[in-house]
Amino acid sequence: MRKILSLENRAENWTQVLIYLTKDGLCSGYVNCPYRHLLDFLNGVSIYKWEDNNEEYIRVREAKIDCLKRRETAEVASLSKDDVLFIKPTGHDSIPLLPKQSRKVRLHLSSYLLAGQIHYQRDLHWKSVLDSVFNFFPVTEVEISLQPSKIKQSARYIAVNKRHISFVEEINIYGGMA
């Protein structure tokens, strides 16, 4: 038991993230993802059968929260997964292992427009990702636009919460809608 507890505090288990929240909030800090990828952690997928990881909250260490024009800091903050629009890992360049099939799409969320590559299994349609039992899915090579200000940023990879998507459109290779 001590070995597991000591591993939880190792630096490589913590992933630095920027979390985009409902109501135009942001939270930066570190989430603990021991023994698994960020997407597995968010979707409650465990490598151990005996481990129950289907928590509805994300614990964020060294949290800096900017929400509703209020700024707060906390040693540890607990955020509901339902309040997460998407998460951008910021501390490393690695992306999860993804199926080879991908399609460029534009995802409409409450205050954001995301354009990037959605990944899906061979012999399926890209919309199958939205029908999955998992709430979070990866999008790569993303352009993030804050509406209506037109402020843009990019990310190599983000994890999107499908619960907050209002509309999805496929983009053809020439930049327009398919």
Dihedral through CA 127, CA 85, CA 116, CA 40, nearest 10? -70
- pLDDT score for 173: 66
- pLDDT score for 113: 95
Contact in structure between 32 and 61 (CB atoms under 8 Å)? yes
Domain boundaries along the sequence of the chain: 2-89, 101-170
DSSP states of 9-22: TSGGGEEEEEEEET
CA dist 76 and 57 (Å) reads 12
Contact in structure between 40 and 20 (CB atoms under 8 Å)? no
Q: Is the pLDDT of residue 52 over 50?
A: no
Report which DSSP code applies to 40: H
Residue-wise pLDDT tens digits, 108-151:
998 899 999 998 888 888 888 888 899 999 999 999 998 878 78
Q: Six-digit token pair at 131?
A: 């029908």
- pLDDT score for 75: 93
Q: Tokens 């843009």 label which residue?
A: 152
CA dist 168 and 39 (Å) reads 21
- Categorize the per-residue pLDDT at 50 as very low, low, confident or very high, splitting at 50, 70 and 90: very low
- pLDDT score for 1: 30
Q: Six-digit token pair at 77?
A: 């903050």
> Does the reported pTM lie above 0.85?
no
Of 2, 6, 22, residue with least CA distance to 111: 22
Percent of the chain residues topping a pLDDT of 70: 79
CA dist 19 and 26 (Å) reads 6
Residue-wise pLDDT tens digits, 89-103:
987 666 676 767 889
H-helix or E-strand containing 3?
helix 2-8
CA dist 147 and 5 (Å) reads 43
What number does CATH give the domain 101-170? 2.30.30.100
Residue-wise pLDDT tens digits, 6-19:
334 555 678 899 99
The CATH topology of domain 2-89 is SH3 type barrels. (2.30.30)
